[in-house]
Structure 1
Amino acid sequence: MPLIYGHRGARAEAPENTLPSFRKALEAGVTRVELDLHLSADQQLIVIHDPTLRRTTGLGGKVAQHPATHLTRLDARHALPDWPEPCLIPSLEQLFESCPEFEHYQLEVKSGSQSQSRLVIDAILRLVERFELHNKVTITSSSRILLRYAHDSGCPLPTGLVEEYGLLDPVKSALRYGCQMLVLNWTLCSPALLARAQASGLHVSVWTVNDLDLMQRLAQMGVDSIITDVPSQAVRLLGNSG
């Protein structure tokens, strides 16, 4: 059975990329999560998907315009307004401190310029060293610039290419940048592509898989891991594979 990753924690069950969302995944028995990172104005790693604050907080402005001390005081339940309590945007440091039970993190880096790549990877490495998570983190991104920087700079953490559209050969691209993981939009995941990726030594992770019939088909196809908004349902269907 494939491994199960909670998408932004448990995105359908609690406000995404917040500590309650990550705790929901843990409560379901899922100890692997995928999450998104942006840099704050003072170059702290902030767990949020969008470059702007509007969708999750209802406020204007960009993440990169504000220091971490401001961002981590903002309520991020705007996209799930029925949630009864405030859910603050966390920093990656806060997540590592609050949820030490997680066995693995896919850290998707959303910014991809050369200068941003250096800052983000250096910041991740500092936290990984501090929390002793060397074997529990994969840095993923759709940015070829970031993946090239990670490869050329000798980043000691494994990396993964996030591929949504399949305009270029994703297996060839992942191998070019020295990746160990290929993170595919599930619509791109054919048996032939999966077999070629796995034969090349790549762990194939697919997102976002919420339909249970689809989940079962992808599991039978042999994907290595599934990223889902509904980790509790995934566990009920597939079991907790660690």
Structure 2
Amino acid sequence: MTPSHSKIKPIVQGHRGARARFPENTLSAFNYAIINQIPVIELDIHTTKDKKLIIHHDPFFIKNNKKFYIYSSTLKQIQSTIVEPNPLFPRQNKTIKEPPPSLEGFFNWLHHHPHPFASQMILNIEVKSIPALEGKLYPTPAWISKTLYALLEKYNLIHRCWIQSFDHRVLKHIRKQNSDLKISLLLSQNYLNASLLLKDLHAQAVSVPVSWVDKALCRSIHKVKGQVFAWTANTKKEWVYLTECQVDGIITDDPVRCKNFLKNL
């Protein structure tokens, strides 16, 4: 761990944009984060039947009370739906009626956004992929990595992105595309050797649930010059705890509230 870790407050990442305030992974949620100058937007991507990357968390969408899988549906079919408000977040704006954006549509929107902070904001893109469901709900890691990287190059976003995934095969393929692209390991179990895994995959960060975070984990990751991102932290108690543990990033559904709280901490 370098001495700077004891002085720097965690960087706030807006989970799915700002899920506590707007329907998740929508342009309105991302816009809210931009105009409030949230340093990082976290978002999720899937692949459609017609091989387009779309911003959506679950592998399915609901239309007319029926479930349709994204990998078996075209972009046009998916965008004929809207992202519904989440009843778990009572402060969510319920007037927004937006379809899930395509990743390229979002990149183009971001490129032309009038707010000056839009050209500075960092993106943390989670690539959805499960090895056992490859070919059924997900494409091959090689295909999605190549397709994602091509879009990042097209919109000159390589220097402004983190790529994260629970499927570490995706991260290996992404690393082959570019040795400088920042990679974060999403961990689905509490690895005792997280620092070794980080080094083996040439990654720069681990992303773990709040419940796994302690000072020992942060020390071990910082020792190998990595970073620790914690998700999903929505309470002041969690924000204080994570700051004391010296995490590098807090992924939260309420990024503006978190940012303002940390400012006065």
Q: CA separation of 1:57/1:85 partners in 2, compared to 1, >3 Å: closer, same or farther? A: farther
2:117 matches 1:110 = no
Distance 2:233 2:66 in 1: 29
Q: CA separation of 1:184/1:58 partners in 2, compared to 1, >3 Å: closer, same or farther? A: farther
The aligned amino acid for 2:29 is S
Which protein is bigger by CA-based radius of gyration? 2
Alignment of 1:65-214 (within 5 A): 65-80=72-87, 83-100=94-111, 101=118, 103-113=121-131, 116-151=140-175, 153-156=176-179, 157-167=181-191, 169-214=193-238
Instruction: Report which stretch shifted further, 87-96 or 142-151.
Output: 142-151
Structure 1 regions of 5+ residues with no counterpart? none
The aligned amino acid for 1:126 is A
- SS at the partner of 2:158? coil
Deviation at 1:224, TM superposition (A): 0.7
Distance 2:98 2:37 in 1: 21
2:45 matches 1:27 = no
Distance 1:164 1:28 in 2: 31
Q: CA separation of 1:41/1:122 partners in 2, compared to 1, >3 Å: closer, same or farther? A: same
Please, which of 218, 231, 245 is the counterpart of residue 221 of structure 1? Answer: 245
Deviation at 1:150, TM superposition (A): 3.0
Could you list the per-position Cα deviations for residues 166-203 of structure 1 after superposition, in whole angstroms to 9, with x for gaps in the alignment?
A: 15532222222111111111111110110110111112
Percent identity of paired positions between Structure 1 and Structure 2 = 25
The aligned amino acid for 2:72 is Q
The aligned amino acid for 1:98 is W
The aligned amino acid for 1:120 is I
- SS at the partner of 2:106? helix
Instruction: Report which stretch shifted further, 7-16 or 25-34.
Output: 25-34
Alpha carbon RMSD of aligned pairs, Å?
A: 2.2
- SS at the partner of 1:187? helix
- Is the Cα–Cα contact under 8 Å of residues 184 and 204 in structure 1 kept in the other structure? yes
The aligned amino acid for 2:101 is P
The aligned amino acid for 1:68 is L
TM-score normalized with structure 2 length: 0.82
Distance 1:238 1:63 in 2: 37
**How many residues are matched?**
238
Instruction: Report which stretch shifted further, 21-30 or 164-173.
Output: 164-173
The aligned amino acid for 2:121 is E
- SS at the partner of 2:60? coil
Deviation at 1:158, TM superposition (A): 2.0
Distance 2:70 2:128 in 1: 12
TM-score normalized with structure 1 length: 0.90
Distance 1:25 1:213 in 2: 22
Please, which of 29, 46, 50 is the counterpart of residue 42 of structure 1? Answer: 50
Distance 1:76 1:150 in 2: 29
Could you list the per-position Cα deviations for residues 124-153 of structure 1 after superposition, in whole angstroms to 9, with x for gaps in the alignment?
A: 1111111111210111011122223334x3
Instruction: Report which stretch shifted further, 208-217 or 99-108.
Output: 99-108
Q: CA separation of 1:50/1:11 partners in 2, compared to 1, >3 Å: closer, same or farther? A: same
Deviation at 1:88, TM superposition (A): 1.0
